[in-house]
Amino acid sequence: MTRVALLLFFVMPVIACSSSDPDVADAQVDADGGAAKDAGADAGVPFDAGGEPDAGGTPDAGEAEGEGSSKGQGGIACASTGSVSTGGVSYSYCVASVAGVELKIVEPTGTADKPLKLAVYLHGDGAGPYNSGLAIKKHAPWTTTQGILYVAARAPNACAWWLRPSYTTCDGETPVPESALDDEGENAQALAEAIDVLRAGWDIADSPVLFGGSSGGSIFLAASFYPLFGDRFPGGYALSCGGDAPWAGELAWDGTDPALVGETKLFFTYGDKDFVVPDVLEALSFYEAEGIPTDVKVVPETVAAGTSHCGNVGGSYSYDQIGRVQEVWSGYLGE
């Protein structure tokens, strides 16, 4: 995405990251009555009662890719807990913060002693599906039955993954200065640190890791996180309605080395009238030239080019962009 286009992206009318869920739109904040029940939560209680919480360190350097799993244990200390309900089932989550990234963590059921897979979802601008619990509603019914530790992660500035942690003017109206773009990878470093702490708290398979993003979360994954840390975290990247070529113009590691690419595949989903289309095409051009495996799903839409976003076509929805993340994950794993 060009710098000018990226800055305009944030101040467009609030159609960004809308959801086909009739109860909780993606732009809503704390609309779900089942969102975090912080009052009375016991801060510091480990979410996983199976052992003592880890002190927050990262796995040993010897836990190299290909050795199986992180061998972590003890869970992570929860600042609070909460739950959401969908389909008559309640899903509990732990709220914790690591390196400025707030996490909502949902453990799977019936995993016995085998390593877990890790799935991380990154919200779009405004953090609506994170704050409301909608992301958990969409994803937890599947992840909890698949041996997957599910994590919805909130950007350090609490609103946008592609903006620096220090930029907190996230009203969707104030013009964003070019200097606010997180082109130095502060958020990418913070997310990598959070994943390391999760791996220390649970026995998590080295690969594949499942990543999913909406809008600005997808832009961040394609333009910042994967270029910097894709060799460390190979897996399935479900990128809904967003993407861009690396902001640095290149990968920080050798993308032509199959051993570093590993099991990675980048899945791009977008409506054909979405205003992010030019930038997604730039991402595809870069990654295909690099030899990184990609997959593309384009959804036909019935409005003028550049006037839809995340499936929102004049208030109706051409596809469920949050649900699409789970669909990609499931297909990637062959479920």
Report whether the peptide linkage leading into residue 208 is cis, meaning its omega lies within 30 degrees of zero. Answer: yes
Helix (H, G, I), strand (E, B) or coil at 221: helix
Sign of the Cα torsion 213, 330, 270, 171 reads negative
Cα(70)–Cα(58) distance, integer angstroms = 10
User: Can you tell me the mean pLDDT for 290-316?
Assistant: 97
pLDDT at 236: 98
Cα(152)–Cα(120) distance, integer angstroms = 6
- DSSP code per residue over 76-93: -EESEEEEEEETTEEEEE
Say if residue 49's pLDDT is above 60: no
Lowest mean pLDDT among 9-18, 44-53, 158-167: 44-53
The reply to whether 86 falls in a domain is yes
Q: Residue with structure tokens 């409301």? A: 132
The DSSP H or E segment spanning 7 is helix 3-11
What's phi and psi for 153, nearest 5 deg?
A: -115, 135
Domains: count for the chain:
1
User: Can you tell me the mean pLDDT for 266-273?
Assistant: 98
Say if residue 40's pLDDT is above 80: no
Pairing of strands 77-78, 45-46: antiparallel
Cα(128)–Cα(147) distance, integer angstroms = 26
CA 43 to the chain's CA centroid: 25
CATH number of the domain within which 270 lies: 3.40.50.1820
User: Can you tell me the mean pLDDT for 282-297?
Assistant: 98
pLDDT at 171: 82
User: Can you tell me the mean pLDDT for 309-319?
Assistant: 96
pLDDT at 67: 59
Cα(215)–Cα(241) distance, integer angstroms = 5
Say if residue 10's pLDDT is above 80: no
Cα(332)–Cα(107) distance, integer angstroms = 20
Task: Output the six-digit token pair for 332.
Answer: 């990637």
Helix (H, G, I), strand (E, B) or coil at 174: coil
Name the average pLDDT for the chain.
Answer: 85
The reply to whether 221 falls in a domain is yes
The reply to whether 171 falls in a domain is yes
pLDDT at 112: 72
The reply to whether 117 falls in a domain is yes
User: Can you tell me the mean pLDDT for 3-13?
Assistant: 44
Lowest mean pLDDT among 9-18, 23-32, 123-132: 23-32
pLDDT at 104: 98
Say if residue 27's pLDDT is above 80: no
Say if residue 217's pLDDT is above 60: yes
SS3 of 117-142: the string is EEEEEECCCCCHHHHHCHHHHHHHHH
Q: What percent of the chain has a predicted confidence (pLDDT) above 70? A: 80
The reply to whether 58 falls in a domain is no
pLDDT at 172: 78
pLDDT at 321: 97
pLDDT band at 173 (very low <50, low <70, confident <90, very high): confident
Check: CB of residue 192 under 8 Å from CB of residue 248.
no
User: Can you tell me the mean pLDDT for 241-267?
Assistant: 97
Which residues 6+ apart lie within 8 Å of 305 measured at CB? Answer: 272, 273, 277
**Which domain covers residue 153, as residue numbers?**
3-53+66-333
The reply to whether 144 falls in a domain is yes
Say if residue 31's pLDDT is above 70: no
The reply to whether 59 falls in a domain is no
Say if residue 224's pLDDT is above 80: yes
According to DSSP, the residues that pair with 95 across neighbouring strands are 80, 104
Lowest mean pLDDT among 53-57, 82-86, 100-104, 129-133: 53-57
pLDDT band at 54 (very low <50, low <70, confident <90, very high): very low
Say if residue 230's pLDDT is above 50: yes
CA 60 to the chain's CA centroid: 25
32-35: list long-range contacts, CB under 8 Å, 24+ apart: 32/84, 32/132, 32/133, 32/134, 32/137, 34/82, 34/83, 34/84, 34/85, 34/90, 34/133, 35/82, 35/84, 35/131, 35/132, 35/133
The reply to whether 226 falls in a domain is yes
pLDDT at 118: 98
Task: Output the six-digit token pair for 15.
Answer: 């159609």
Task: Output the six-digit token pair for 210.
Answer: 């499942």
pLDDT band at 210 (very low <50, low <70, confident <90, very high): very high
Model pTM? 0.84
Helix (H, G, I), strand (E, B) or coil at 287: helix
